[in-house]
Amino acid sequence: MLVRLTDVNKFYHGSQVLSHIHLTIEDNDRIGLIGVNGCGKSTLLRILTENELPDHITEGDGEIAYSGKTTVGYLEQMGGLDKTSTVWEEMRSVFQKLLDAQQQLHVLEQQMQKGDMSVSEEYHRLQTWFESNDGYQIDVKIRTVLGGMGFGQESYSRVISGFSGGEKTRLAIAKLLLEEPNLLILDEPTNHLDFKTVMWLEDYLRAYKGALLLVSHDRYFLDRVCTSICEIERGRLTRYKGNYTSFTQLKEAAVARQWKEYEMQQKEIAKLEDYVARNLTRASTAKSAQSRVKQLEKIERIEKPVTGQKQAKIRFTYEADPPTELLKVQGTDISVGRGEGRKILLPELSFEVRRGEKWGIIGDNGIGKSTLLKILLGQLPHQGKIRWASNVKISYFEQESTNLHPEKTVMQEIHDRVPSWTDLEVRKLLGQVRLTGENVFKPIGVLSGGERAKICFAVMMLEHGNVLVMDEPTNHLDIAMKEVIEEAMAEFGGTLLFVSHDRYLLDKVADHILELKADGAAVSQGGFTQWLEARQRADAEAAATAEPEYTQKKPKPDQTAYRSKKERARQAQARTELKALDQQLEAMQQEMDTLTEEMSDDAVCSDYQRMNEKCQRLETLRQQMEEIMEQMIELEEIAG
């Protein structure tokens, strides 16, 4: 057990946010913490990390117990970094104790070289501790994690203050991973990460030695990493075994079972109460009625199951179908800027879209996905040809919501689009996207990203486009709202072109994936899973045709030499094997030197997969060299 929460409660402004929370985190738990925005997830994390105290209702409640071995690492937004340090300095600061020990080892080595052997015992003790804590792997670990989080060698000497907010968050995650706490708490760790980095992080966390507590709206991430899901709903926490997909099934079954048990008990209670009401005043049946009263008093009442919050009702409709051959893109470039400042992101792009198809557009950050959508809409200049069919009506979702006026209220924004509507009709539409109450009178500029997105969905419902062009439609949304939009997109009978990092959405909605890459673009049929499988097959084929992996041929010991009774023969055999092992050790050292040099190459540092392979090979070589050196010690004793 790392930490245990017992009967934790929390109030804000008289309202109970967390109610009777019980949670135990064991050594290797992988817990996903979910719930609608504002349900209390961040509050629970602050309590867990002792940044906030629970409130007490009764004596003995609100207990938080940590084991003596527990170390907690918590990702705070862009926190935990010294912004005056370089990236390399900040990452190495994690290993300060090991670096100090390394420096001390050098001092002791110099003393022994001068003939002072009195420090040899201290040197041996310190070296054993240094090796057991992977002291020789510090730089390898740093390069591996930085490479995985998308930082190449060119960024190592940069000062942290010069990075963007998203980059600082990625650096904070990298530093936390290097610290290796046995309880790692991450709040929305996949924000600001592209596919490549998210998938690396998933693999890293799956192999992580400690416990994980993750808050995330990324359902694909929760599926791949988590082995249990904790949901906070109306202040209460319920834990389910399995990943997110298992959670949805278990919760549905649990709610159905709770309703059945509740309804059965209510029927039984009603039956008993009816009997009491009809028979309590009759002399002949009063005793029997009193028995029923006692029976009612003993019943442990089942609470009425919590009914989930009302879900939004979003449905995209259109009036007329366009032609089958909907869109043809031929030899189009993706570029930003004008004149001498113009930068080409992708030199040539060609594809065709047919009516009713749903295209998911993916690619690394900065490759030009959003720019492509604006080019398709005619908002940006381009080379090549873009031809839309006749009778096409496009409705566009722009992730920054620039089509909304920040000074208008929500009601005014809709009224200005349909002046003939009454307030009741406007509020009915806004109610469908779950914008209700006083929120409809707020200026759009003060709303959250999720609330602005809901207004954009309402506008799209008004426009009745037969082609929907959407840029990151599920950003800023909680899981419940994501599922609503996902369903609306899946049920839409028209054509969809959408940019997204939401792999769950891409899997459920897309029937084509357009991947933008620096060296071109690729189209594949199916959703995200089919695209990923195809990419993995291609990577495997490329690896198979590349240079063969380093191989280690172990010497075949001559067993007869060890069975010989003649000492000379034994010694001769030992000397022969020693020579072979020495040559082998020299070859392995050369390989290690080559690997270390290759790992400083920019191309390798920026490719986390190659970096991982080389790091693993380096670790394997180090272990094999240690085994060979042990063999050599034994053989030296025999050789004399």
Q: What is the CATH number of the domain that holds 400?
A: 3.40.50.300
Q: What is the DSSP letter of 27?
A: T
Report yes or no on 567 lying in a domain: yes
pLDDT tens by residue, 214-228: 999 999 999 999 999
Q: Using CB atoms within 10 Å of the CB of residue 599, give its burial: 0 to 12 exposed, 13 to 18 middle, 19+ buried.
A: buried
Residue where a domain terminates, one of 475, 510, 542: 542
In this predicted structure, the answer to whether residue 304 has a pLDDT above a threshold of 90 is: no
Report yes or no on 478 lying in a domain: yes
In this predicted structure, the answer to whether residue 532 has a pLDDT above a threshold of 80 is: yes
Q: Looking at the structure, do residues 452 and 345 belong to the same domain, yes or no? A: yes
Q: Looking at the structure, do residues 485 and 361 belong to the same domain, yes or no? A: yes
In this predicted structure, the answer to whether residue 397 has a pLDDT above a threshold of 90 is: yes
Give the percent of the chain with pLDDT over 90.
Answer: 59
Q: Looking at the structure, do residues 524 and 620 belong to the same domain, yes or no? A: no
pTM: 0.74
Number of helices (H), then strands (E), belonging to the chain: the values are 21, 18
Q: Looking at the structure, do residues 361 and 427 belong to the same domain, yes or no? A: yes
User: Quick one: pLDDT band at residue 612, thresholds 50, 70, 90?
Assistant: low
Residue where a domain terminates, one of 511, 542, 573: 542
Residue the block writes with tokens 């064991």: 26
Starting from the edge strand earliest in sequence, which strands make up the sheet with 325-336, in order? 343-354, 325-336, 385-388
Least confident of 154-168, 381-395, 483-497, 541-555: 541-555
- Strand bridging mode 512-517 / 358-363: parallel
In this predicted structure, the answer to whether residue 180 has a pLDDT above a threshold of 90 is: yes
Residue ranges making up the domain that contains 625 = 559-639
In this predicted structure, the answer to whether residue 263 has a pLDDT above a threshold of 50 is: yes
Nearest to 335 by CA among 326, 345, 327: 345
- Strand bridging mode 385-388 / 358-363: unpaired
Q: Looking at the structure, do residues 375 and 425 belong to the same domain, yes or no? A: yes
Report yes or no on 365 lying in a domain: yes
What pLDDT does residue 231 have? 95
Strands (E), 453-562: 467-471, 495-499, 512-517, 520-525
Q: Which residues pair with 352 in a beta bridge?
A: 328
| Cα–Cα distance, 477 to 459 (Å, whole number) | 17
In this predicted structure, the answer to whether residue 615 has a pLDDT above a threshold of 80 is: no
In this predicted structure, the answer to whether residue 550 has a pLDDT above a threshold of 60 is: no
Q: Looking at the structure, do residues 488 and 613 belong to the same domain, yes or no? A: no
Instruction: Considering only residues 576 and 154, tell me which one the structure prediction assigns the higher pLDDT.
Output: 154
Report yes or no on 554 lying in a domain: no
| Number of structural domains found in the chain | 4
Q: What is the DSSP letter of 304?
A: P
Per-residue H/E/C for 328-378: EEEEEEEEECCHHHCEEEEEEEEEEEECCCEEEEEECCCCCHHHHHHHHCC
pLDDT tens by residue, 15-44: 999 999 999 999 999 999 999 878 899 899
End-to-end CA distance of the chain: 53
| Cα–Cα distance, 37 to 615 (Å, whole number) | 40
Report yes or no on 131 lying in a domain: no
Instruction: Determine the average pLDDT of the residues in 306-325.
Output: 87
What pLDDT does residue 566 have? 59
Instruction: Determine the average pLDDT of the residues in 487-498.
Output: 97
606 phi, psi to nearest 5 deg: -85, -5
Residue the block writes with tokens 């969809």: 496
What pLDDT does residue 309 have? 63
Instruction: Determine the average pLDDT of the residues in 240-264.
Output: 92
In this predicted structure, the answer to whether residue 546 has a pLDDT above a threshold of 90 is: no
What pLDDT does residue 604 have? 66
Q: Looking at the structure, do residues 438 and 521 belong to the same domain, yes or no? A: yes
Report yes or no on 517 lying in a domain: yes
Q: Looking at the structure, do residues 391 and 409 belong to the same domain, yes or no? A: yes
Report whether 398 contacts 374 (CB < 8 A).
no
Looking at every residue in the chain, the average pLDDT score rounds to: 88
Nearest to 490 by CA among 310, 243, 245, 314: 314
357 phi, psi to nearest 5 deg: -80, 155
What pLDDT does residue 112 have? 87
Q: Looking at the structure, do residues 443 and 495 belong to the same domain, yes or no? A: yes
Output the CA angle 305-308-309, nearest 5 degrees.
140
Q: Looking at the structure, do residues 349 and 222 belong to the same domain, yes or no? A: no
Q: Looking at the structure, do residues 186 and 212 belong to the same domain, yes or no? A: yes
User: Quick one: pLDDT band at residue 619, thresholds 50, 70, 90?
Assistant: confident
What pLDDT does residue 90 have? 95
Report yes or no on 446 lying in a domain: yes
Report yes or no on 578 lying in a domain: yes
User: Quick one: pLDDT band at residue 186, thresholds 50, 70, 90?
Assistant: very high
**Cα–Cα separations (whole angstroms), residue 338 to 30, 331, 332, 343:** 49, 19, 16, 8
Q: Looking at the structure, do residues 256 and 235 belong to the same domain, yes or no? A: no
User: Quick one: pLDDT band at residue 430, thresholds 50, 70, 90?
Assistant: very high
What pLDDT does residue 605 have? 62
Least confident of 146-160, 233-247, 584-598: 584-598
| Cα–Cα distance, 613 to 600 (Å, whole number) | 14
User: Quick one: pLDDT band at residue 352, thresholds 50, 70, 90?
Assistant: very high
Residue where a domain terminates, one of 542, 568, 589: 542
**Three-state secondary structure call for residue 520:** strand
In this predicted structure, the answer to whether residue 388 has a pLDDT above a threshold of 90 is: yes
User: Quick one: pLDDT band at residue 303, thresholds 50, 70, 90?
Assistant: confident
